[in-house]
Structure 1
Amino acid sequence: MQHPIIKPLPFAIMLALSSAAFAQEAPKSDQEATPGLETVVVTANKRVEKLENVPMAISVMGEQFLQRNNVRDVEDVINLSPALTVTYGTTPANNGINMRGIGTSSIGIGVEADVAVIIDDIPMGMQVQAFREVPELQRVEILKGPQSTLFGKSAIAGALNITTKPIAGPITNTFSSMLTSDHEWRVSASSSGRTSEQFGYRISAIENRYPGNVTNLTTGGKVNGSSDKTFMAKLNWRPTSNLDVDFSPRFNHSNRNCCVLVLTSLTPLQGALLSNIAQLPATTLLDGIPIGPENRTVRNDAPTGQDSTTRGAGLKLTYALDNGATLSSITSFDRYLAYDSRDQDFVDVHTLLYYPLANGKPAGVDAGYTQYGSFDVKSRTQEFRLTSPDSGPIRYVSGLWYGKNEIGRQFIRGYNGIALSTPTQYFGSTYNINYALYGQATWQFSPVWSLMGGLRYNREVSGYTMALGAPPPGDFKPTAYYESLDNGENKLTGKLSLAHHLSQDMMVYVTGATGYKGKAYDITSGLSAATAAEQPVKAETSKTVEFGFKGNFLRNRLTWNMAAFLTKFSDYQQNAGGYLPGTTTYVTRLSSVGGVQTKGVELDVSALVTQALLVNASVAYTDATITDFPNGPCYNVTGSPNGGFNLECQLKNPQYGNQNVQNLSGGRMPNAPKIKANLDAQYDIHLANRGFGAFVRGNVRYQSDVITNLNQDPSLAVGAYSITNLGFGLKDDKNLWKLSFFVNNVFNRHYATTGLTGAGSWSSKAPNPVVNVTNTTWTPARDSWRYFGARLDLRF
């Protein structure tokens, strides 16, 4: 389904705007003798380095950029980065981050993410935990391409390395509040500083609520929104001059009433019946819903979304050796508990009153068709790290790593005995234990040449258990049980880079790296004896080569970072739908796609055009495709002469167990736009002798069209769109206060986070003859409609 969009910006214009190292902010006017960009540092190599000296593609979003764009979580970061997109699932737990068009959109707890998320040296045990409020952001580093050497097996496609603000200086307090015209509000406060040479602290709390942009006519309230309460602290103790002890407790409670499917078409509407049941006509069930491309109303009598709580803490000990090297110990524990639910009949009538039992009679159960469950994730990590001094021709980092993830999942769908509710219940669990030894070194073997190399040896032991049975009513009684325990695998990954400094301010480099993600398990309701016999699914691997150029020009007024890349993945783990051999039963199950790849060009540029005008921009051309998948899933096409499937579908192919398959080799990867770009600018206006100044700012982001399903179904495409945000405000010269006003989605362009069909099974007559009724849906993005807002920041 195509939604109204503005015309795509010409690619040549976007290249002219180029691409930004987002964190590079102009220094304050009272500090600058010669105007220039601020030096950007990164910790991509587990040591603090200048961005332009690191031979790899990194985009950085700094504190001021994050604040200007009201960034609060990973989804906001993804919107502003051309390298990133999201694959949205039916619940928040199934959302996945894509890097350069590659990510994991697999359903279930037995598949790890392709993109790692690390916050203050602590990795997220399950990627859904990243989709929450992160207060006190100082810097977000987007590390592109396989990062397994230093960040482990969950970074096979890349990593987000997030750093929160440090403890420094005298006691400083901050307060921030924001309010929008569509009723989002946010309040945060923090206190930070050193009370003595031995002790410092940072304490932050934040609460926000966005009711949503979809109206539930049943309750009269809003859905497709979110709310968060977050507490985070950093406590620093220096018992001696060469020992730092940092303790970081954290808490988050998050509620996402999201992922609702909003009808955009239902054809034909007259005579349409839900599940072909005469007592469930569309004209009654969908009364008051203005079905159309811009519809934002639903009728649901059960919640859709997820409620989660995270509790955790990190402990970091840093000991400075006499030769300038540091020895660190980083320990973490994290517990994530979430409850998810979904209105599975998509209406507010108690449909189980009319759904038939096995004897054909109405069940008469006074309830709707729902699914619900829970996630319980426990993560523990321990790292010991030795980092060499920054001086000398050889610099290195080495370490030992231990990590253990335990994930439990209970899932309940439907009602026992009512076939149309696809009844099932299961208790699944999975675990993985990892031991690793890593090391990476940079050798400056001449004034203009340097060589960087690294290796990681990883030992993983993993397994799963799964008990399936019927849902309530009645006690759970397993009807099937599967397990595969203590599956071990050893893997060596590495990185090698050669850099040549053309001058003090320019560098070219070539980098090669390999990535690895461990074995996977299909822990979903579709697990059967046949699919369990194929467990575990093979480990996923990747290889990449990257060429880059970094430069600083015009006396530090312009920076340029460009990279060309090619990454190939083997045994790519992906959920795909298909029919069970010899049946008409369609199931989604985990399998290995033989190969996928991504290639393209990225450009990051930042420019201090004048002393008052800072421009950051970014653009990426990415071609992410399937290279080997001869038995891919087909998709339905109403009225198709090929048995109701797309013409490329090979019906009952004997080579693949009489399944309906199509050769997807050469197809596009889902949620991988070929062009994505971002332009951000701020102009500061100095008001002489007033004690404060003014500013105006703008942001434009563009994304070309994407498909949203591996099977290439064109009806599940999301069209290209461009979103423009504008703002202005006043700020104190001493940085004590700032008042901002903004309008987001200035041109009111509507777009979807995903394109889906399947808001119920509809037919036009009952009992016979049956004519299929087609329907399309969308899930509107947070800023699918224009809204206004104001923000006040105080520092005292």
Structure 2
Amino acid sequence: MRYPGTPKPVAAAIALLAMSAHAQEARQPEPARLETVVVTANKRAQNLQDVPASITVLGDAVLQRSNVRELDDLPALSPALTLSYGTQPGNFSINMRGVGTYSLGIGVEADVAVIVDDIPLGMQANAFKDLADVNRIEVLKGPQSTLFGKSSIAGALNITTKPIGGPVRTTATLLATNDDEWRAGVSVSGAVSDTFRMRVAASKTNYDGTLNNLTTGGKLNGSKGDNLNAKFEWRPTDDLTFTLTPHYNRTEKFCCTTAFTSMTPGGLYRNAPQLPQSVVLAGININPSNRDVRNDYPTGGKFHDWGTGLKIDYGLANGLTLSSISSYSKYHMDDYQDNDATDIDILQFLALPNGAPTQMHGGLYQYGVFNVKSTTQEFRITSPDRGPIRYVAGLWYGKNDLNRELAKAPLIQNYGTNYGADAWNINKAVYGQGSWDFRPDTSVIVGARLNDEDTGYNFRRYTVPPQAFAQTEFYTRSDSNTSRTWKLGLEHRLDKDTMVYGTISTGHKGIAYDLTSSFTAVLAARPPVAPETARSYEVGWKQSLWDNRAMFSLAAFRTDFRNFQQSAGFFDYDGIFRTALNSIGGLRTQGVELEGSARVTRRLQLNGSLAYTEATIREFRNGPCYNVLNAAGTAAVPGPGCYQSPEFNNTNVQDLASKTLPNAPKVKVNLGGQLDVPLPALPFDGFIAATTRYQSRTQFSLNQDPNTVQGAYSITNLTFGAADRGGRWKATLFINNLFDRQYAAGLNNSIANSTWSPKAPNTPHAVNTTEWLPPRDWHRYFGVRADLTF
């Protein structure tokens, strides 16, 4: 199979691998079969091919072969996933089927939940760290609110850490690349006694980054992390098991800086004649591939989290399992940002709000903290996965306390803010979902959840440094909300290898508060942003072929959202990128997903997946506008389709109905395969693997700015190495982005904002700037990896 953008060498290589493997296997009478994939998407262990839902499963072998380190690596493996990046780690977003929430505020829940060993993360930002000691990731698409509750209206990532092995063993992993990434990890796992087993894993990672900071000589947009994960299992009787899962993580992300790719000549920084482009950006060659910046203040976030989970399972004589799952965790992040993006002493040339000189030195900075404390408790009863009736039911309690403190300083003309906010939510729910085989070949699926939520906030505004600290404003509010979600489905097995299904499910996400620097008394007096709801329809076909040597799943879906909570980004009058929370009247995501695997021979396995997704706005009459130059080239004016609306306070808006959601490519394709190469004359065997992914053009801005569109691209990775037949070691050499294709993880466009556009008394002039965010694999790089077991 080939698709637009697939390099011909890759297609030829796959064909040659297949023919070679066929020739080698011609004399072997019994072909190998695909391994059974077990998932817990319905909160009980099931064969993937028996679950009536579209699920992508990334198992341990795939994660290792692709050298997955963090969440950023997953969109390359799952076509339904994309990630949106903000100005710091606290406002990253996971998008499923084109749907995700990008918000700077702690008063907005995410649309995609992240669950680790049955415990949901209290804040999605906590997911953007090393995926340490992970065994399997299930990408659950579409509303998952019935079983997983809050923050799963668009989908969920269900993550399972590695299990405890049999006899005690130690494993170690080392990885290094030619562009200064390295990783080291070690784990000890196994049975200590007949009743007690344990696993302890530690890892350390570092990547310098993709941008060159000319000021310090260092790199930006990298990360480093330390991880410690443990799993202790005590089984005093055959029916009773206690599992304790403490964890600790410390991560620093040197992000999320963008580099200029174009700039209209003649710009003055904040209209100061002493600050022309040649001085402020000295040494930077602005071009579409530029990766040089000048920062004299760090940009990114340093965070740590720790906590533990305790799961108690008790097996009843009739096969039922009673479970109690408890958790407690704390998350803290210090974030910081160089808001002037220069190393020049600019303050001496700028003015205070009253127009007087600042009489200060230095630059413009942002700094703040996030604090999240989460407590959860779940009681669950699970039936065995056999018999005509199979079900899971439970009670849920979760409490999240969130805190945000943010300052942009110092106070000058058109710049400066200082606020603090607390948000809380308490969720109580009862849920259940089951399947009934009312015929030997047909089942009905029924699920429901009743959720009660209490939410609220405190918002404080302070004076901006260097003014003496004082609180100037305070607002508080509390609300409650009750919601019901449900799921209905029908599953029919045409034969033992073929299953078709159809489901209807609903989703719900609670009310939201726009707790950002733009929060005002006017917003405080208004009702909160309405709850977000969804209704999803999905039909699918799952097929096993050739005595389980091949399988595929095909799904078609449509999900309609109402009151979708979306933050729209824009450049404010001070040249700083900001967001404002909107409630979009309606949007729809619909499409087709196809996934398949084939064990062509004992030694060759091929995999493929495709997602065609249309994520479009159906109703949003007051959408944000983008700007274009006026005819004289002296100022910015609203772009085509924008108009001044009396209905919306005479602001410039555009009707975004039928427009595409940001970062929602229509087509994503993944192709890959691995060939095991026997080497009889040597004590080890070889292997070679290749993957290619393709993505169609992508719009990064909700306002549909044509200058923030990433064109279609394809990326090919190649891996080969050797492995000891006894499983004691494996050595791997990999080349990522084999054909050196450049693409962006984010694009910005700004016209005539006050950062670079001269105005009176200087000659009026409009400056257009564009920027890009290079991804980890923006270029070709290679690395080596060693895995040891002893």
Structure 1 contact 187–206 (Cα < 8 Å) conserved? yes
Q: Distance in 2 between matches of 1:378 and 1:790?
A: 39
2:91 alignment counterpart: 94
2:179 is the counterpart of 1:188: no
Shift of 1:766: 6.2
Q: 1:302 to 1:426 in 2, by over 3 A?
A: same
Structure 2 contact 556–590 (Cα < 8 Å) conserved? yes
Does the residue aligned with 2:429 lie in a helix, a strand or coil? strand
Shift of 1:358: 3.4
Shift of 1:585: 12
User: Where does 1:78-89 land on structure 2 (aligned, <5 Å)?
Assistant: 78-89=75-86
Does the residue aligned with 2:167 lie in a helix, a strand or coil? coil
User: Where does 1:243-282 land on structure 2 (aligned, <5 Å)?
Assistant: 243-268=240-265, 271-282=266-277
Q: Distance in 2 between matches of 1:610 and 1:655?
A: 65
Note the residue ranges of structure 1 that are not aligned, 5 or more in a row: 1-5, 18-27
Q: Distance in 1 between matches of 2:93 and 2:579?
A: 17
Structure 2 contact 268–277 (Cα < 8 Å) conserved? yes
1:571 alignment counterpart: 563
User: Where does 1:71-220 land on structure 2 (aligned, <5 Å)?
Assistant: 71-220=68-217
Q: Which moved more, 1:607-616 or 1:499-508?
A: 607-616
Does the residue aligned with 2:385 lie in a helix, a strand or coil? coil
Structure 1 contact 177–793 (Cα < 8 Å) conserved? yes
Structure 2 contact 144–152 (Cα < 8 Å) conserved? yes
Q: Distance in 1 between matches of 2:689 and 2:761?
A: 61
Shift of 1:633: 1.2
Match of 1:708 among 690, 700, 709: 700
Structure 2 contact 166–191 (Cα < 8 Å) conserved? yes
Q: Distance in 2 between matches of 1:579 and 1:368?
A: 19
Q: 1:566 to 1:172 in 2, by over 3 A?
A: same
Structure 1 contact 452–496 (Cα < 8 Å) conserved? yes
Structure 2 contact 171–186 (Cα < 8 Å) conserved? yes
Tell me which amino acid in the other structure corresponds to 1:476. F
Structure 1 contact 224–258 (Cα < 8 Å) conserved? yes
Q: 1:571 to 1:194 in 2, by over 3 A?
A: same
TM-score between both structures, scaled by the size of structure 2:
0.94
Q: Distance in 1 between matches of 2:275 and 2:613?
A: 46
Q: Distance in 2 between matches of 1:150 and 1:32?
A: 45
Structure 1 contact 114–157 (Cα < 8 Å) conserved? yes
2:755 is the counterpart of 1:761: yes
Q: Distance in 1 between matches of 2:781 and 2:384?
A: 50
Structure 1 contact 255–307 (Cα < 8 Å) conserved? yes
Q: Which moved more, 1:461-470 or 1:174-183?
A: 461-470
Shift of 1:474: 3.8
Does the residue aligned with 2:279 lie in a helix, a strand or coil? helix
Tell me which amino acid in the other structure corresponds to 1:326. T
Structure 1 contact 273–765 (Cα < 8 Å) conserved? no
Structure 2 contact 718–736 (Cα < 8 Å) conserved? yes
Match of 1:733 among 712, 725, 733: 725
Match of 2:283 among 279, 285, 288: 288
Does the residue aligned with 2:637 lie in a helix, a strand or coil? coil
Q: Distance in 1 between matches of 2:713 and 2:472?
A: 48
Q: Distance in 1 between matches of 2:725 and 2:748?
A: 49
Does the residue aligned with 2:628 lie in a helix, a strand or coil? coil
Tell me which amino acid in the other structure corresponds to 1:92. P
Q: Which moved more, 1:544-553 or 1:350-359?
A: 350-359
Does the residue aligned with 2:439 lie in a helix, a strand or coil? coil
Does the residue aligned with 2:374 lie in a helix, a strand or coil? strand
Shift of 1:476: 2.6
1:372 alignment counterpart: 367
1:607 alignment counterpart: 598
2:788 is the counterpart of 1:788: no
Structure 1 contact 303–343 (Cα < 8 Å) conserved? yes
Q: How many residues align?
A: 769
1:394 alignment counterpart: 389
Shift of 1:317: 0.5
2:318 is the counterpart of 1:323: yes
Structure 1 contact 106–575 (Cα < 8 Å) conserved? yes
Structure 1 contact 579–659 (Cα < 8 Å) conserved? no
2:432 is the counterpart of 1:442: no
Shift of 1:197: 1.6
Shift of 1:252: 0.4
Match of 1:430 among 420, 423, 428: 423
User: Where does 1:48-87 land on structure 2 (aligned, <5 Å)?
Assistant: 48-87=45-84
Does the residue aligned with 1:772 lie in a helix, a strand or coil? coil
2:514 is the counterpart of 1:519: no
1:22 alignment counterpart: none
1:241 alignment counterpart: 238
TM-score between both structures, scaled by the size of structure 1:
0.94
Tell me which amino acid in the other structure corresponds to 2:49. E
2:448 is the counterpart of 1:455: yes
Shift of 1:541: 0.3
Shift of 1:414: 2.1
Q: Distance in 2 between matches of 1:305 and 1:339?
A: 9
Structure 1 contact 350–369 (Cα < 8 Å) conserved? no
1:3 alignment counterpart: none
RMSD of the alignment, in Å?
A: 2.3
Shift of 1:332: 0.5
Structure 1 contact 706–718 (Cα < 8 Å) conserved? yes
Structure 1 contact 527–589 (Cα < 8 Å) conserved? no
Q: Deviations over 1:425-462 (max 9, x none)?
A: 00101000000000011101111101111000000000
Match of 1:779 among 767, 773, 783: 773
Q: 1:747 to 1:643 in 2, by over 3 A?
A: closer
2:712 alignment counterpart: 720
Q: 1:718 to 1:312 in 2, by over 3 A?
A: same
